[in-house]
Structures are given as structure tokens and as C-alpha cells.
Structure 1
Amino acid sequence: MDLDAFTELLTPRGRRALAEAGELAGADPVAAATRLRRTYDAALTSAALTQAGLRERATAKFGEDARVMYFTPHGLEQATRTEVAGHRAARLIAAGAPEPRVVDVCCGIGGDLLALARAGCTVEAVDTDPLTAAVAGANAEALGLGDRVTVRVADAAGVEPERYDVLFADPARRTSRGRTFDPMAYSPPWPVVLDLVSRARTACLKVAPGIPYTFIPEGAEAEWVSFKGEVKEAALWTGHGARRKADRRATLLPGGHTLTATGVQAAVGPAGRYVYEPDGAAIRAHLVGEVAELVGGRLLDPMIAYITGDDPVDTPWATRYEIDDVLPFSLKKLRAVLRERKIGNVTIKKRASAVDIERLRSDLRLNGDRAALIILTRILDKPSVIICNQPSPS
């Protein structure tokens, strides 16, 4: 879809084509295209069907708003889901003025600028791609936020963050070869982003959750956000947005639970009755010791994020499994134990293990009517397997 095709979607004729395409969701693609071609030309038919498909996919991130929004494939993939963007917008409002002026320097299709506008911010957004900027502007209009949002085509490097209360930046993490995990390959490049941040009174910088700690600016607060157990992203906060009592934070959504670094060091000890798997946000934020303290547990290995304990403690910060057995890893021994216990269905997790899960599943050749969870890991640097009963509720 190019800019001309998208612009036509915004006309009355284009809206009718898009509505008809939406009614054909799930139909055979060839049949759907043939039906629309009876009324519309090939370019509009293609744009409408593409947009209808993207709207269907986007409901997972944007809920019912997706039914009236516009997307590009890359824009949807990189967009912040509504709950995460809303959490971030609420933090910005709580950090300063009730109606701050925000500049969004890499706005994409507008996931964050929509949340900021809904929270009461006045947002000026820029993007280097004309189509993407047009989509962001159309989304603001579609959701009734056009009076709070201005979108223009511009290079982030030319923005003057000093003119605004808040700088928000979500640099693109995709190159012509696909997704990149190197901040120096972001667009705009990392030095440009850091220059913008250094000149802003308050800044929030969205980054990949695997960002190396060496790239985190001095004095910034780094927050890792997990949604329903899956780590979605990290945000770096500077200025008034940073909560100075914490340099690392993990946040769980939709519950809003938060955990910060206290410096506690977890003890290491033998396996107890339970094993706890910390949420990924806590692991990324290096808060495994804090989670161990919450459950009264200890690490099975000083370098691996599995916690063991003797009591069944409920916490949103970890999933708890009841341990049935702990063995040195041996395919022959593991197969014999599982067969003896009539286990025919296993869920396999691993951390710090070189074992190929699918090959192991095949090699076990299980046959039985019971189920178990097995964890492949290292305990005091020795390959080990933990056999667990079905997960306990937590």
C-alpha cells in the first residue's frame, strides 16, 4: 500500500470499500477480491482488503479501537499495545504538568501518541515516512483526538526537545534486513537519540527489552514491562519522569504491580518443595534476588533465574511449580523415571541448557496417561532436570 492508495481509503468511496472489505473478513481471498473488483479498481480493492486484514490482526493490541484505525504491516508489528502505552502515559502525567506538551519523535502508526492524547497531553508527532505519518494522523482523527494531535513528516534529528515538556522517542528497530537488536542500528541512530534525550526536561525512550545495560544513560531509570506474563518492552526515563529512588524497575500489566531494586542478594541452596520461575520483566531488570526475598526462597544456581523454596507463596512475580524429583540429566534415566510414573505428556522448559527440546521430546518416546512439567537447567554448574507436578495456582 502506497500513500496514494491510503489517501483514497480516507475518501467516502474508500471508506465504503473498506467497510465492504471488513464484511468479507475470513472469506476466500480470491473470492473477496473478485467481489470488490465489481465496484472498485484494483488498487483500491487491494488497499481495502489489506487494511481489513490488518484491522483484524490489530484487535489483539488495540481492542475495539482497531475496527476504525489504520495500519501498515511494519507499523502494526512495532506498535505499542494499548495497555502498555496507557501505563506509560499515566506515568508521564503523574510526573509533571496535568496537560504537558509532548513531542513524539518516531511516532509510527500512533500507538503511543493516542494514549498520550487520551491522557490529556498535547502531542506533536513526527515520522520520516510520509505514509506512516499519514496513518498516525488518520488514527488520531478516527478516535476523536485530532484536536490534541499534530503529525508531520520530519527527521527526529531536527526536533528541538527544549520547546516541549516531554520528549517521547521510539526509534525504529528494523532495517532492510529485518529486526535489529543493536541500538547503534536503530533509526534514528543511538547517538542522535541520546542527544535528544540530553536536551529534554523529561524524556521517555522506548527500547527493546534485551537492550544491553551499557547503553542505558547514566541517571536514567530503566523499566521493563510485562503484559500477561510476556515481556513486551523496556522504557528509559530521564528528568522528571525518572523515579530517583530506583534505577531498575519491573512492571506487570494489567495488574500494575511494580518491583524495584533493593540490592538484596539471593542465597544459593538445595532444592526445596517448590521451584519458582520469575516473570521475565523481573529477570531483565536483574530483580531475581528481590523475587527470591518475596517467596522466602533461594537460587538453585547463582547464575540461573530459578528460585526454590519450601513454602507455597503466592506472588504475581513468579509461577510456582511443585517439585517431584531432581535428577542429574541423563536421557536414559529421565526416560525410565517418566515411564515408571506413567507420564505420557510433558511440558518442557529450559534455561542454560543446550538440550534440543523437540529432539528430547521425540527421544523420550513416552506412553502414559499422566502429565508433568520438566525443567532442564544447570544446578551448581551441573546439567540437571527438575520433574514437577502440574503448575500450582499463584
Structure 2
Amino acid sequence: MSRELAAWRQLVTADASALLEAADKCDARDVHAVARLRRHWSADHVRVALQLTEARRKAATKFPDHASILLADPAGVEQATSLIVAKHKAKRYRAAGASSVIDLCCGIGGDAMGFRFAGLDVLAVDSDPVRAWMAGCNAGCSTAGADVETIDVAEALIHIDPARRTEHGRIFKLRDTEPAPEVVARLLDRAAGGGVKLSPAVNLNELADALPPGEVEFISENGKLVQTVLWTRPLAQAERRATRIAGEAIHSQQGVPARPPSGPLDRYLYTLDPALERSGLIDAVASPHNLTMPHPQLGLLTGPDPITSPWLTPFELLAEMPWQTKKVKRWLTEHNAGIVEVKTRGKAVDPDRTQADLRGKGDQPFTVFVLRRDRKRIALITRRCV
């Protein structure tokens, strides 16, 4: 057993309760406070205890009912799938008739926890024995601290989460993930089917060239795009899917990517859930409501009537004008503006600075879209529809 793993394992013993209580009250940035802890416990034990207490604070959003008992380090929490997303993914394995899954590159066990909640037997595998141990504790499953290529996945359903972060920072290209795409492809070829957790910003052309074909699912959680999943063989159900998770509500849209027809700005504007926009399934939502797209790069739909959809956020369009701060500010002042929300794309403006510049002394809230239409910047002054 490594020294690092031994230090972490000590935290689950009865003797560690006093250390964890003291670590929870300690500011890890205060060298004198840390030194006081080291008078009573070893440097290794103090270090991992401080990591654990910080990780549990970070975990409150992703694991609200389990954060206080989670075994994790801060980076592990940041990289982990939230429990509600993990439960959603686990349903895919259940629907395929699975009774077990091999979770490769398991990290602290976020996805493994979802699989266990679904009643699946899990083997959680990670090249880092500490992370594998954490996953076993958090998910209550079998583990292996091993290179994923040494695991026999023949005829098994697998899940794999290639690392997208190194000691030098975040990885943005699929080819740089670890294990490499060719290793992931070999594992998928040997397995009965699999799910591959990928970056929300994965290049789809690179994905098509590097990994076997399957369904590509984009998942948003509370308005933020959190991951892309490639599903293969029996786990694939469509060509493309967008899934929106907000609280306990889950909405999915599947189909073939298609854009709605173009059209001029109308009375109402709609922003898109990021999973819907990233999936390209925009027309599947727009068409039933006769919505059009004013410009392919603006990320907006428009129509004459207010509609309600979990995929869309509606705004009433009040004015359109070229983007000139003074001109927009004058309009807002004339209409008793108070708090002004600014939305933009492609860094057309600095939203925080512009929001401060436009804020008025009145009591009427407005949302101003500052966008590039072709080479010109425009301002769309709107009011959120309640």
C-alpha cells in the first residue's frame, strides 16, 4: 500500500474524527493554523484531511445528500459527474438489459454511484489507486487500481471517462486525452457496448474520426452544458440527443440535426438551452411552434407569439438598434431602467462592464442582447417574459 493511500485510509478510522473536525475549522491558507494541526497529527494526515474537508464543501452542489460523507479530493470533485446526471446515464444501461457495468477511469466514483443507485453491479477501475479506493467507498462497489487496458472487457458494457485535465491544466483536444482515443476505441471494440464521457466542447469531426460510430448525447444541468456522451452498440438509441436536467426535471430531444428556416426578428425572442443548441436539434423544437432563426450565429429563435417550452427562454423584443452605448443608455433611461442584464456571444462586448454602464436609477428590469450580425454589432432591448 502506498503512503498516500495509507494516509487517506486513515481518515475513515474512528481515530480520525478529531482531525477532521479540526481540519474543517482550519483555513488551509493560514500557515500558522496548519502548523498547529501538525503539532498533533502527521503532515500527511493533515494534508489529506484538509483536502477532504475542502472537497466536501465543493461537493455540496453535485452530491447534495452525500457531500458530508464523500471521500474525495477537490480535483476529483471538480472532474466528477454529478449524481443526478450519473443516475440519468445509468438508466441507459438498465434499458439495455444490463446487470453490471465496468466503470473505467472512474475517478472518485460519481458515475459509479449512479450505476449503483440503478441496481447495477460495478467494477470501478482507475490507474490511481487512491481514486479507485475513493470510488469503492463512495459507490459501495468492487474496485481495481490498474491500467484500463489490463481489464478484460469482453462482452461487458463499459463506461469510460478519459482524463481531460493534467498537471498543466485543462485538455481541449480529444487526441490529447488520457487514455488516448485509440485506446478507448480498442476498449469499445472489445466490449459489448459503452458510454464515453467527453468534453461539452468536443469537436464532432474529430470524434467521428477517432471513435466508433454511435449516438452523441449533449447534457445540460441547470442551464450549463456539462458533458457529451458517446453511446455505442446497444446503448445507442438515436443519432443525436439533447438532454436538459433542471432540478429533478429531465427533458430529452432526439433526432437528426436540422436548422429551422431563417426569418426576420419578430415580437418574441428565445434563447436556447445549451444542450439543444450544441446538439443541432433546433428545428425539432422550433418547427411545432413555427419559430424561425433570425441569424445562424446569434443563438436565437423568434416568433410572433409567446410560447412555453423547457428548451427555450422567452423575451419580448422592445427595440432594435445599432450598438452604441450612449444611444442604448438613452433609450433605457427614457424607459425608467434599473437593473440591466446583458447577454452577448463571441465577446461582442464585456458583459459585466457593459451591464454596469447601462444600469439605470429606475425600477424597470431589461435584458439587452449585444450581438454581431455579420460585421456589425446590434443591440436588442428586451424584457424577460415571466
Same-fold call, TM cutoff 0.5: yes
Structure 1, residues 9-63: CA drift from partner, whole Å, max 9, x if none?
A: 12321244325544x3789967865775575344323332331222122121111
Mapped partners of 1:161, 1:128: distance in 2: 16
| CA–CA distance in structure 2, aligned partners of residues 167 and 49 of structure 1 | 33
RMSD: 2.5
Aligned to 2:162: 171
Where does 1:84-95 land on structure 2 (aligned, <5 Å)? 84-95=85-96
Is 2:342 the partner of 1:348?
A: yes
1:12 equivalenced with 2:4 (yes/no): no
Describe how 1:1-394 pairs up with structure 2 within 5 A.
2-19=4-21, 21-22=23-24, 24=25, 33=34, 39-97=40-98, 99=99, 101-140=100-139, 145=140, 149-164=141-156, 166-214=157-205, 215-216=207-208, 217-243=211-237, 246-253=238-245, 254-262=248-256, 264-352=258-346, 354-361=348-355, 363-364=357-358, 366-379=360-373, 382-389=376-383, 391-393=384-386
Distance in 2, matches of 1:28 and 1:158, equals: 40
In 1, are the aligned partners of 2:337 and 2:359 still within 8 Å (CA)? no
Q: Secondary structure in 1 aligned to 2:314?
A: strand
Distance 2:249 2:281 in 1: 18
* Alpha carbons 1:300, 1:380 under 8 Å: kept: no
Structure 1 residues 36 and 355 mapped into 2: Cα distance closer, same or farther (>3 Å)?
Answer: closer
Question: In 1, distance between residues paired with 2:347 and 2:20?
Answer: 49
Amino acid of the residue matched to residue 11 of structure 1? T
**Which residue identity does 1:122 align to in structure 2?**
D
Deviations 1:265-310 (A, max 9, x none): 4121111111000100001101222222243211111333200111
The alpha-carbon distance between structure 1 residues 180 and 278, as it changes in their structure 2 partners (threshold 3 A), is same
**Alpha-carbon spacing, 1:179–1:19, altered in 2? closer, same or farther (3 Å):** same
* Secondary structure in 2 matching 1:335: helix
The superposition leaves residues 337-356 of structure 1 with CA deviations (integer Å, 9 ceiling, x where unpaired) of 22222324211001245223
Aligned to 1:272, what secondary structure does the other structure show? Answer: coil
Alignment-mate amino acid for residue 336 of structure 1 = R
Range with greater deviation from structure 2 (308-317 or 194-203): 194-203
In the alignment, the residues of structure 2 paired with residue 364 and residue 374 of structure 1 have an alpha-carbon distance, to the nearest angstrom, of: 9
Q: How many residues align?
A: 379
Counterparts of 1:265 and 1:139 in 2: how far apart (Å)? 43
- Checking the alignment, whether the CA contact within 8 Å between 2:52 and 2:74 is kept in structure 1 is no
For the residues of structure 1 that align with 2:181 and 2:164, how far apart are their CA atoms? 11
Contact 1:201/1:239 (<8 A) preserved = yes
Between stretches 345-354 and 168-177, larger displacement belongs to 345-354
Alignment-mate amino acid for residue 321 of structure 1: F
Q: Deviations over 1:306-354 (max 9, x none)?
A: 0011111100001111111111222332222222223242110012452
Q: Return 5+ residue gaps in structure 1 as ranges.
A: none
Structure 1: distance between partners of 2:163 and 2:9: 24
Distance 1:379 1:270, change over 3 A: farther
Shift of 1:79: 0.4
* Structure 2: runs of 5+ lacking an equivalent: none
For 1:363 and 1:57, the matched residues in 2 are separated by 33
Cα distance change on mapping 1:361 and 1:257 into 2, 3 Å: closer
Rate the CA distance shift 1:365–1:107 in 2: closer, same or farther, 3 A. closer
Change (3 A) 1:365 1:105: closer
- Distance 1:263-1:9 versus aligned 2 partners, 3 A rule: closer
Counterpart amino acid of 1:168?
Answer: H
Quick one: distance in 2 between partners of 1:376 and 1:339?
18
* 1-structure distance, mates of 2:381, 2:201: 29
How far off is 1:2 after superposition? 3.1
CA offsets 1:126-170 (integer angstroms, 9 cap, x no match): 111122122222323xxxx2xxx2111111122232142x11100
Specify whether residues 36 and 352 from structure 1 end up closer, same or farther in structure 2 by C-alpha distance, changes over 3 A only: closer
* Range 64-73 or range 338-347, more displaced: 338-347
Aligned-partner Cα distance in 2 for 1:371–1:37: 53
- 2:348 and 2:359 map into 1 onto residues whose CA distance is 20
Range 264-273 or range 274-283, more displaced: 264-273
Q: Distance in 1 between matches of 2:62 and 2:33?
A: 25
Q: Any idea what the Cα deviations from partners look like across 1:201-255, whole Å, max 9, x if unmatched?
A: 1100010111111114453101111112111111110010000xx2110011131
Measured in 1, the distance between the counterparts of 2:113 and 2:32 equals: 35
